[in-house]
Structures are given as structure tokens and as C-alpha cells.
Structure 1
Amino acid sequence: MTARYWAPWAWLPSGIEEGVLLEVAGGVLEGSRRGSPDGAILLPGLVLPGIANAHSHAFHRALRGRTHGDGGTFWTWRERMYELAARLDPDSYFRLARAVFAEMALAGYTAVGEFHYLHHGASGPYDDPNAMGQALIAAAGEAGVRLTLLDACYLAGGIDEPLSPAQHRFSDGTAQAWLDRVSDLKPTPTARIGAAIHSVRAVPRAELPVAAQFDGPLHVHVSEQPAENEACLAAYGRTPTRLLHEAGALGPRTTAVHATHLAPADLALIDSACFCPTTEGDLADGHGPARELLDAGARLSIGSDQHAVVDPFAEVRALEHGERFRSGTRGRLSPEELVTAMTTAGYASLGWAGGLVPGAVADFVSVRLDSVRTAGSLPQQAVLAASASDVDTVVVGGRVVVRGGEHVLGDVGRLLADAISEVWT
């Protein structure tokens, strides 16, 4: 498919340019240059490169608005999450994930890293051991978002603790068995297979080097909670970051998710980090050292994690505001750094070539500059004024998925309501 799009403003690697022509062929961006709108599809406002949700647990969306009644902690929230996980099978998971991925597309996300650990049935593996992963791949395809399926190794209930009954669905028994199962998953033109080490709590030290053998994007929950650090130090005399480094699990292809409670010596060991500010705030987890990681040379991306909020603009504002709370200083992350976190950094962490450059995948998002939120904003600073409601057009692989704020699947709110009602009934 060949198409030409014209943007009043576009966020190119050289900065924002006015009057940009985007030329697409075969799902790839062939050119991005100043040009005439004649004969092109007109896009309103500011066009950004494709936006990546680098950390998602799709099924957690069914918890939104259901975990606040008694306050609680991350750990009490987790028990409610286990209750939800027990209710899902491949068919219901497909319907839920399709609606969640469509919600992401409406918000401007064009790619998602699905951190997938809900693998098996209550009584053991399905006839197809990858049935749940295949459901996610199919759901993303129908919703029109690019997917990196980060299939997670999950073997223990905690450091030196057995799996709880609720966690048995997550486990393959050993890291090698997990690797063998993951090797049967096949990519598609818009979905690729990555991997995850759930955490140092869920993968024992002896199994970490085996899990680290996966050749591709690798993500891992790191230092999300102080209790995780304390348990790791007590058991191994090392921080989670140091333990993963010694096991060969860190490097350019690895993204540390959350990285909230890092020790100073951990910073230099991390090449890529994904912060999930709205989830970290929702669960009262804290705010990690974003500025320090960037200064140490790490790539920084964003994720919506449990989907308490699905809005990339809210994520990057919360990222900057968290830095302001920590430091008492504005502008800890520039608008350019925030857009990079939303776009090309997230794509790189998921193994895709993003950006409005020739040869990149043809994923881009147009954001209105004339809404009640963005009217009067400079295009260079619109990321700090816009919300998901200002997303007008979303293109993934050259295909229009959202136009005029409407998804090709129709009423996404109804899809969500039906899928979530089915899960809880």
C-alpha cells in the first residue's frame, strides 16, 4: 500500500518542521520532507512518531476502579489481580485484550510491549501451550497495534518460596522449559516475540542465566518495591540489578521496568529503563531516578502497566512531575526528552525501528492543536498540554487505525464494558 500524508507540523529527528509530507509504501516510511499537501491525506495538528507503550499487562485493565475501596498496598492489590487472572481463558482473554489494545490506539499508542505471564489453564497447559500468547497476538492484530509479546519466565512465588496456587498458571517449571515453549511462538508482520524475566523474586538465581539466553528484546521488573530489594539483599547480598548483571541478564537489549528503588551503583548497569508513572503512583510505589538514568546514558521509555490510566501524555507529564517533586526544579526532562521516551526509545526497547525517518515502520500519530487543552500551545511544548482525547489520527504500518478520534472497530467503550463484564460475571 502506497500513501502520502501531509502534516502542518511534524516531529522529525532534527526538530519540529512545518508542512511535512510523509510518504509510505509497504508499511514503511519512505520519506519525510517539506512538501506540498496536494494529493495527500491531510492530518490535523502535530504529527508525532509512533508512540510505544513499552510495559503492559492487558488483563489488569479489568481491575480499573475496583481496587481502591480499602486502600491497601501493592501486595493486597496483587491478591485481587490473582483473582482476576484465575477467571481468564484464551477466548475471554482475546476479547479483553482486543478492547484494551483498541483503547491504547485511541489514546495514541501504536505499539505495545505485552509483559505476558498468564500462560496456562487452571489444571495445566492448554492443548496449545501458547494459546494465551496467540490470543494476545490475534487481539493486537484486530485492534491495529504493533505488538512485542514479552513472554515472561515465572518460576517461584518469591525468593526461596514455592508458587502459590494462584501462580501455577504462570509457570513452566524451569527456565529451559519456558525457553522451549517460547521458541514455538512465531512472529507476524506486526508482532514479534520478545521475552521477560518476571523478577528476581519469581526466577531463582540459578535459573537466571538460562532465561537470559533468549536472543531478542528482554524485559524484567527491577526494584519495583523496597521489599524486593530487602529480600534480594538478604538472600544474595546483592541488589536485584547487580544480581541480574552477574547472571548476564542485563545489556543493550534488556529493559529494566520500574527501576524505582535503585542503589546509586545500579545506575551504570542499566542500558534501558521503562517507567510507568501512573501505575507507580496508583500503587504508591514511588518515583525512580529518571534524570540520573538518562545522565548515566540509559534509554528511558514509558508504559501504562496496569492501565489505571491509558494516556501517553499523562505518563510523560507524571514522569516530569515526579522529577519536579523529587528535586524542586522544573524542566528536569525537556519536551524533546519526553517525546523520545514516548516514541523512539520505546520502539527501540521493543525491537522496532521507529521515528519519522526513511526505513522506519510507518507508524505515526496526529494530535490536535486546537482543542480546549492544546489551543495556544507551541507545537514544541504540546506534549505537556495534550491528552489522549486530543489524538485525531493513528497510523500503524501505513494503515489508518483511528481517524477523527474514532477506532476502526467502532465503539471501544462498549467492547471494554462487554469484555470486562464477562470476566467478572
Structure 2
Amino acid sequence: MKVWADRLISNGSVTRGVLFDADPNGRVLTNQTGVVPPPDALQLGVAVPGFANAHSHAFHRALRGRTHTAGNFWTWRETMYNAASRLTPQNYERLATAVFTEMVSAGWTTVGEFHYVHHRTDGTPYRSHDMERAIATAARGAGIRLVLLDTCYLAGGIGAPLSPEQERFGDGSASRWLDRWFSLRDALQDAGPTVTLGAAVHSVRAVPPEGMRTIAENLPVDVPLHVHLSEQVIENEQTHTVYGQTPTQVLADAGLLAPRLTVVHATHLGGSDISMLGVAGVGAVFCPTTEADLGDGIGPGRELADAGVRLAVGSDQNAVIDPWLELRGLEAGERLHSHERGRFSPAELLALGAASGYSTLGLPAPAEPGGFLDLVEVTEASERSAGTRWEELAMTATAADVTRTVVGGVSVDVDRPALAAELRSSIAELWGEIID
């Protein structure tokens, strides 16, 4: 398959007439520059490499526009648990298909779905990984690349049992989670080339150190592993009270700090934490629109990058689905924190949204030989981007400017009015509402 871009914005420059040739699985074989489009190629105007949504909880999309009046992360979480309690494989497949389609329409070409709603509400397993299969089916239906980050979730807090609302998240022990993970890997063998299985430890709050060590020792070394880290100040305080350490040090002592690890949020870190993460060469996913919406704080993005951490972005609770706004949110947070502009250049932002994001999900850089032919076309006729130097597009474009999303060399076409109707209907179904 062939895709041609009149202009490709990548690696800090604009290249004219780029022709990609890909194999049947959508991996780039060659790319040529300065060529005219052949008649059998999909033709694009201005394009950038595809964006990786490195951290998503798809069902949180059902909370958008329903939790914004007051409170904090902990009060928001109660409504989230209510939504989680309503999920079935059937309604989750429908909702996730709509949410993943919204992501594709915004320019996300890959999603890392941080998934912990595994079982029935009483904690008993489904017959055959029904929830996980529903998510994989939803991603294929939406046309997005999926890395399913199946999540170990064992405790309701440090030293606390799971609450009734959390029963369906748990597997009882890290060993039992591993057994289910290996079984799930076998079950997804027929899911196709756009679906792969990763893993996650929910947090220091939800998995004790001995469970982390079991996972570090037994999860295959080539599997990407994610973890929520220091999202809330109270997590740091509780961890210090119980373990006398920071959450980062707990991860280190459990053997989890390694290049395959990606920490999510990483908002409240000390200098020693940043140093440890950098030396280990981990990834870090910032979710600026979520961290702002929940009042979490501003993480040390520049300090982490300078220490050697690979930064990426994600949509997390999906209150906003727009890679461009996540990237600008990262830079905006840096400006607010430092009182300086240009903490990340536009080229750096595009790279961390694409190549770095893919790296945190265990995938090669998109739109490069050996990587997937994942591209995002952006209109030249927008009032937002009019007058922009293409090298600075990351500072002006939004999801509304995305005209075509290409995943594995295939154009994913989205009927936006139909998508809006399906989102409204599937969310109403989840909450048991009647659409008037």
C-alpha cells in the first residue's frame, strides 16, 4: 500500500512530496522524498506522524460534562466508580467503539488503554475475558491501533482491602493476575495486527511491594509496563507513612524501574525521584487536560526530560480528546510553572506526541521505516492555522483541523454527526437515561 503526502512535518522540518510504501500489515518499507504522487497512492496534503494516546480510561468519557462543578480527585472518583459498576461487555463495547472513534477523528492513531474493569461486579470472572475482548473489538471497529494495558489492581489503598466498588478490578494476588494475563495473551492471538497486549500495575496504593516484585520477575521483559505514580499528594504522604519512602523508591526497590516502565502523571516528584527515573530510562505520560480538570497539579516535565525520561501525552479521563491540546497543555503548564516560554519547542512536542508516545507503548516510531504507516492530515484552510509557519503547527492546530487519519496505511473515515449521536446514545444507555 502507498501513501503520499504533499508536505510532511517531522523531525523539526517540512519535507515535500513524501511517498510511503508499506507491507500488508501497515509497516513502512520505504519512504521517498521529492516525488510526485503515483496514481495508486492515497494522497494527503499536510501531514504529521500519528499521535499515541499513551494513557486512556475509555469509560471515563461517560463522565464528561457531569462532574465539573466542584470537588477534587477523590469526589470525582466516586462518580467514576458508579460508572464502572454499570459496565457490561455489551455496553462497554458500544461505548468504547464510540470513544475510540472520537479519538481517531481527533488525530490519535494509537491508544494505550489502561484497563482494570476485568470481572463482574461481585468479582467473579467472565467466561472468556469478555471485557477485554470487548475493548479489542471496539478498537478494531473504530480503526485505531490498541495496546491493551491490562492492569493489576489488588488493594483499596495501602494496607486496605478492595472496597465493594473495586471488587471487579481485582484478581486476588499478583500471581493470579499473571495467570489471567498469560491466558489473555493467548485469547488475543486472533485479534489482528492492530491489537497488542501490554500490562500495568495500577499504583503503589493498589499493589503492594511483594506483588510488584512478583510481576517484575515474571512478566516477559519485552512487554511494556505502566503505573500511576505520585498523582496525588496524599499518595506520597501515605507511602511515606507506611514505607518511609517515596512511591518512586518503592517502585525501585520492587525491581520495576527499567526502560520498559512508563510512569503516568508523575506530578508530585522530588529531585531524587526525578533522578532515579532518568537513570532508569523510563517513560512518563502527562495528561495535561485531565490533570488540570481534576486539579491534580503541574508535573516537572522539563526536569524529567532533561534527566533522560521519555515524555508522552494521554487523554486519561477523556474529558478532552484532542492530541494538540494535550501537547500545548504540557507546554502551557511549563510556562505557568517556570514563567518562561518555549520550554518544549514545537518540534519536541510533535516528537513526544508521536515517536516518544509510541515508544512508551512498546511500538516503533510511526511513519518511519520499520514503524507503522500512521499519519494525521491537517487542513490548510483553517482559521486556527491560517498564517502559521508549518514548523510551529503544534502551537495552533486542534482536533477540528484534522481532515484525515491514516492507521496502518488505511484512511479511517469518520461520520462526525453520526459519531456525536452514537456517543450521546451510548452514554445515555450506560446511565440508564432516556434521550428526549
Letter in 2 for 1:144: G
**How do 1:149-298 residues align onto structure 2 when only pairs under 5 Å count?**
149-185=148-184, 186-187=188-189, 188-212=192-216, 213-215=218-220, 216-270=223-277, 271-298=282-309
- Indicate the residue corresponding to 1:28 in structure 2: 27
- Indicate the residue corresponding to 1:99 in structure 2: 98
Query: Is the 1:13–1:356 Cα contact (8 Å) retained in structure 2?
Result: no
Q: Deviations over 1:210-236 (max 9, x none)?
A: 122322000000000000000001100
Q: Deviations over 1:299-346 (max 9, x none)?
A: 000000000100000001110000000000000001111011110111
**How do 1:365-380 residues align onto structure 2 when only pairs under 5 Å count?**
365-380=376-391
- Indicate the residue corresponding to 2:137 in structure 1: 138
Query: Is the 1:369–1:382 Cα contact (8 Å) retained in structure 2?
Result: no
Q: What's the offset of the Cα at 1:351?
A: 1.2
Three-state SS of the structure 2 residue aligned to 1:184 is helix
Whole-Å separation in 2 of the counterparts to 1:262 and 1:124: 34
Specify every segment of 5 or more residues in structure 2 that has no aligned partner in the other structure, as ranges: none
Match of 2:425 among 410, 418, 423: 418
Match of 1:388 among 384, 391, 399: 399
- Indicate the residue corresponding to 2:52 in structure 1: 52
Three-state SS of the structure 1 residue aligned to 2:55 is strand
- Indicate the residue corresponding to 1:364 in structure 2: 375
- Indicate the residue corresponding to 2:111 in structure 1: 112
2:337 is the counterpart of 1:339: no
Letter in 2 for 1:67: T
Three-state SS of the structure 2 residue aligned to 1:149 is strand
Three-state SS of the structure 2 residue aligned to 1:8 is strand
Identity of aligned residues (%): 50
Whole-Å separation in 2 of the counterparts to 1:357 and 1:334: 21
Query: Is the 1:369–1:377 Cα contact (8 Å) retained in structure 2?
Result: no
Letter in 2 for 1:353: P
Three-state SS of the structure 2 residue aligned to 1:53 is strand
Query: Is the 1:377–1:385 Cα contact (8 Å) retained in structure 2?
Result: yes
Specify every segment of 5 or more residues in structure 1 that has no aligned partner in the other structure, as ranges: none
Q: Structure 1 residues 351-360 or 273-282, which shifts more?
A: 351-360
Q: What's the offset of the Cα at 1:13?
A: 4.0
Letter in 2 for 1:249: L
Q: What's the offset of the Cα at 1:268?
A: 2.3
Query: Is the 1:259–1:275 Cα contact (8 Å) retained in structure 2?
Result: yes
- Indicate the residue corresponding to 2:13 in structure 1: 15
Whole-Å separation in 2 of the counterparts to 1:278 and 1:126: 34
Q: What's the offset of the Cα at 1:358?
A: 1.4
Q: Structure 1 residues 300-309 or 346-355, which shifts more?
A: 346-355
Whole-Å separation in 2 of the counterparts to 1:294 and 1:385: 23
Q: Deviations over 1:146-192 (max 9, x none)?
A: 00000110000001111110000100000000010011122431111
Letter in 1 for 2:121: A
Q: Deviations over 1:72-96 (max 9, x none)?
A: 0100000110011001110011001
Letter in 1 for 2:219: F
Q: What's the offset of the Cα at 1:412?
A: 1.1
Question: What TM-score do the two structures reach when normalised by structure 1?
Answer: 0.96
Three-state SS of the structure 2 residue aligned to 1:67 is coil
Q: Residues 206 and 25 from structure 1, CA distance in 2 versus in 1: closer, same or farther, beyond 3 angstroms? A: closer
Three-state SS of the structure 1 residue aligned to 2:406 is strand
Q: Deviations over 1:198-218 (max 9, x none)?
A: 000000122110122322000
Query: Is the 1:11–1:356 Cα contact (8 Å) retained in structure 2?
Result: no
